[in-house]
Structure 1
Amino acid sequence: MKRLGVKGRRLVLGLLGLALLAALLFGALRAGPLAPVRVTVARAEPARLAPALFGIGTVEARRSVLIGPTGAGRVQSVAVDVGERVRAGQLLAEMDPVDLEARVAALDAASARAASALQAAQAQLDDARARQALTAANWRRHAELAAQNFISPGALEARQQELASAQAAVGAAQANLAAARLDQQRLAAERAAVRQQRAHVQLLAPFDAVVVSREAEPGATVVAGQPVLRLIDPSSLWVKLRLDQGRSAGLAAGLPAQIVLRSDPEHPLPGQVARVEALSDSVTEERVAQVRFERLPATLSVGELAEVTLNLPETGLAPTVPNAAIRRQQGRSGVWQLDAEGLHFRPVRLGASSLEGRVQVLEGLPAGATVVVHSERALEAGSRTRVVAALAGAPL
C-alpha cells in the first residue's frame, strides 16, 4: 500500500480541521449561545373575561362571647359541656357565693328594724303634733284673757314658751322621721346590691348559643372578667377572608361568592360578601373581608379553613393574553411581540385578569398579535427565536 506524502497528509488534516470547525459552528448555531432562543407563543385573542378574586379564609362567629364572673371567686359548678346548645337565660355555671347569703339575711333583719324605727318616728311625730295643737289652743285662750286683763303678762309668756317648745318637738320628730326613712332607703339599696351580687354568681346565657369551650372547671379560682365558658351564636357564622392587596381590585360588599370548605370540597356553597374591613394587614399585605353563607351547612365548625372565590362582573371585549406573557422592562409592563420584523418589546396597559390565567390588554397591543409566553432564557430586542410547542426546562 502506497503511503501518503507530506502534501497528502496535510490535505487530510486540513479536511479534518474544516470538518471539525464546521461541526463546532453547526453546534453553536443549533444549541450554543448563537442558537435561536426557543419560545412558546400565543395570540392576543379578543374575549370577554369573567374576573374573579380568590383567597383563603377561616370560619368564625360574628357573635362570640366569653362568660365569666364580675368578681373574683371559686367556680362552684358548671352545668353545660362543650357542644351543647343553650337557650337565652339558661343557667350555665355558678360561683361560690361565700358570705352573700349571710349578708342578705343580716340586711333583711336590719331592714325590719329600720321599718320599726320608722313607725316609732312616725308615732313620735304624731304625738308632737298633738302636743303642739294643745299648746296652741291654750295660748290662744290665755291671749284672750290677757287682752281683758284677767291674767298677768307673765302667765301669757309661759304659755308662749310652751307653744315654742311644742313646735320644736314637732321639728325634732320630723327630722327623726326623715332620718329613719333615709336609713331604710340605705338598707334597701345595700340589700339590692348584695342580691345583685348574689345574682351575678349565677352565669346565664345571654342568647341562644352553642358552648364551644370550657375555660374553667369546678373548684378553680378565677378573677373578675376571667372566662369560664365561651359561647357562639351558630346562626352568625361567616368566613373571614384574606385577599392579596395587589389582586383585590373590585372587592366590595355584595359580591357573590363560592365557598369550598376543607371538610367538603366536592360541594361548593353559595355566599356573599357581607363586609369589607377598612383596616388591611400591613404585615401580610392582605385585605380582609367577611363572607356570609346563604345557607349554613349542618356540619360547619368554627376555625375550619375555606377557599373562597368572588365573582366580579364580566368585562367588555378586548384582546387577552396569558398572564405568563407579561414582562417588566425598565419599570414598565409589556409583552414581547413576534412579527415579520422580528422580536420587540411593546409596553401595554393591562385590565382585568381571570383565574384561568388570562389578562386583558386595554392599550398597546392589537388583536391577533403573536406574543411570547415562555422562553428558555432572557430575551432582548432583535433576538433570534425558534417557536416550539413546549419547553422542557423552567420557563422565563
Structure 2
Amino acid sequence: MRIALPQSRRALLLVIVLAALVLLLGFVALRSGPLAPVKVTVVQVEERAITPALFGIGTVEARFTHRIGPTAPGRVASLAVDVGERVEAGQVLAVIDPIDLDQRIAAASGSAGRSAALEAAAASQVADASARLALARSEAARGEELFRGGWLTRAALDQRRQALAAAEAALAAAQANRSAAVQDRGRTGAERAALQEQKANLRLIAPRAGLVVRRLAEPGTTVVAGQAVVEIVDPAELWINARFDQTRAGGIAAGLPARIVLRSRSDTPLRGAILRVEPVADAVTEEVLAKVSFDAGAALPPIGELAEVTVGLPARERTLALPNAAIHRIGSAVGVWAMRDGDLEFVSLKLGAEDSDGWVQVLDGLARGDQVILHSARPLTASSRITVVDKLP
C-alpha cells in the first residue's frame, strides 16, 4: 500500500534537488569549465648577458657561373657535354655551324689579294713618277742655265718649269694612291682576321674546370649572338645567398661565424662565416642580404638547396631580458602580460637583440623582478582570472 506525499513536500524535495544540481554545475564551471581561472606559468624579468643570434634563410648558389655561347648567330652543330658532367679548362663544349663564314673568309682573302696587287701597282707608279720627276728637275736646271746664257727663250723655260711641276704633282698622286692601297690592304686583312676569329669563337671552349649544370640549346637549334648554350659552375666554390630581417640585423658584418643547417642534413650542421654583406638591401621584403661561405673541408650540398643560417653577433653587456615565449603581439603593439597588484596588464615593450636560447633584450617597459606570464592554457584578456601553476599539463 503506497502512501502519497503531500504536494508541498514533493515540491520542496524537487527544489532541493534542483538547487544541488545548479550548485554542482556552478562549481564544475568555475573549477574546470569555461569560467574557470586560466592556468598560467610566470617568469621574472632578470639581468643577463645576451649573445645575439641572427637567423636567416638562404639558397646555395655558385660563386662563379659561366654561361657560354657564340659571338655570332649560327646553328648548333654538336654538343659534346651533358648536364652533370665535369669539364676541364680548354675543353670543347659545343660547335656552332658557321653557315656562310667560310665564304666570307674566302671573299675577304680575295679582297686582301686584290689590295696587295693594287699596292704593288701603286708602288710601281710611285717609282715611275719619281723617275719622271728626276728627269724634269734635270731638264729644268739645264733650261735655267741656257736661259741665263741666252740660248733659250722664256717660253721654252716656262715649258720646262711646267713639266717639273707636273712631275711633282704626279709623284704626289702616286704616293697618295700607294698610301690608300696600303690602308685598303690593312682593312681587308683586319676583316679577314675578324672573320677568322669569329669562326674560332664558334667552337665553345670551357674557360675553367667545372660542372655542367644546364644545356640551354640542343643540336639543330639556331642561336643568336650572346645566347648561352651551356652553363657551367665550379662546384668547389659555393656560397649561400642569405636573407636576414632588417630589424634584427644590426651588427652583422663580414667575418662573423655562422651555423648552417641544410634541409637535406638537418642533423649535421655545417660551419661557415659571413663573406660579405651586400650594399643594397631588399626594400620590398625589408631584409638584409649577405653571402655566407662554407668552411674548408665541408661536404658541399647541391646548388639550389635551401639552408637555415644562424649568425653569432658580438655579445652585449648584461641587460634586462625575458624569454621570447612571453612576448605577444596585440594589434600593432608588442608586449607581455604582466602581473601588477594581482591584476593582468598588457605592457608594451621596446625590445632589442635576441640570442639563440630564446632570451630577448628588454630596452624599455619593464623593471628587474617584474613578473610576466610565460605560458597560458588559453588566450588572455585584461579581465581574465588566472591561477599560477608550476607547469602546464
TM range (shorter): 0.7 to 0.9
Q: Which structure 2 residues correspond to residues 36-55 of structure 1 after superposition, within 5 A?
A: 36-55=37-56
Q: CA separation in 1, counterparts of 2:330 and 2:143? A: 122
Distance 1:65 1:55, change over 3 A: same
Give the structure 2 partner of residue 29 of structure 1. 30
Q: CA separation in 1, counterparts of 2:185 and 2:198? A: 20
Give the structure 2 partner of residue 374 of structure 1. 375
**Structure 2: which 5+ runs fail to align?**
none
Q: CA separation in 2, counterparts of 1:150 and 1:110? A: 55
Distance 1:152 1:347, change over 3 A: closer
Give the structure 1 partner of residue 76 of structure 2. 75
Give the structure 1 partner of residue 327 of structure 2. 326
Q: CA separation in 1, counterparts of 2:380 and 2:33? A: 15
Give the structure 1 partner of residue 315 of structure 2. 314
Distance 1:233 1:378, change over 3 A: closer
Q: CA deviation at 1:73?
A: 0.8
Contact persistence 1:274–1:291 (CA under 8 A):
yes
1:119 is aligned to 2:87: no
SS of the aligned residue for 2:253 comes to coil
Contact persistence 1:348–1:361 (CA under 8 A):
yes
SS of the aligned residue for 1:234 comes to coil
Give the structure 1 partner of residue 193 of structure 2. 192
Q: Which structure 2 residues correspond to residues 128-143 of structure 1 after superposition, within 5 A?
A: 128-143=129-144
Distance 1:223 1:150, change over 3 A: closer
Q: CA separation in 1, counterparts of 2:178 and 2:50? A: 87
2:115 maps to a residue whose letter is A
Distance 1:200 1:370, change over 3 A: same
SS of the aligned residue for 1:102 comes to helix
Q: CA separation in 1, counterparts of 2:16 and 2:384? A: 33
User: Which sits farther off after the overlay, 96-105 or 63-72?
Assistant: 96-105
1:211 is aligned to 2:212: yes
SS of the aligned residue for 2:21 comes to helix
SS of the aligned residue for 2:293 comes to strand
The normalised TM-score by structure 2 is 0.87
Contact persistence 1:344–1:382 (CA under 8 A):
no
Q: CA deviation at 1:339?
A: 6.3
Q: Which structure 2 residues correspond to residues 232-381 of structure 1 after superposition, within 5 A?
A: 232-281=233-282, 284-295=285-296, 297-328=298-329, 332-338=333-339, 341-381=342-382
User: Which sits farther off after the overlay, 156-165 or 59-68?
Assistant: 156-165
Distance 1:10 1:93, change over 3 A: closer
SS of the aligned residue for 2:211 comes to strand
Contact persistence 2:236–2:300 (CA under 8 A):
no
Q: CA separation in 1, counterparts of 2:264 and 2:52? A: 26
Distance 1:249 1:182, change over 3 A: closer
Give the structure 2 partner of residue 91 of structure 1. 92
User: Which sits farther off after the overlay, 308-317 or 42-51?
Assistant: 42-51
Q: CA separation in 1, counterparts of 2:98 and 2:15? A: 112
User: Which sits farther off after the overlay, 63-72 or 1-10?
Assistant: 1-10
1:140 maps to a residue whose letter is A
Q: CA deviation at 1:5?
A: 4.5
2:201 maps to a residue whose letter is H
Give the structure 2 partner of residue 173 of structure 1. 174
Distance 1:312 1:137, change over 3 A: same
Contact persistence 2:251–2:314 (CA under 8 A):
no
Q: CA separation in 2, counterparts of 1:33 and 1:208? A: 69
SS of the aligned residue for 2:272 comes to strand
Q: CA separation in 2, counterparts of 1:323 and 1:36? A: 24
Give the structure 2 partner of residue 147 of structure 1. 148
2:260 maps to a residue whose letter is I
Q: CA separation in 1, counterparts of 2:264 and 2:36? A: 52
Q: CA RMSD in A?
A: 2.9
Q: CA deviation at 1:138?
A: 1.9
**Structure 1: which 5+ runs fail to align?**
none
Give the structure 2 partner of residue 201 of structure 1. 202
1:156 is aligned to 2:152: no
Q: CA separation in 2, counterparts of 1:53 and 1:301? A: 24
SS of the aligned residue for 2:274 comes to strand
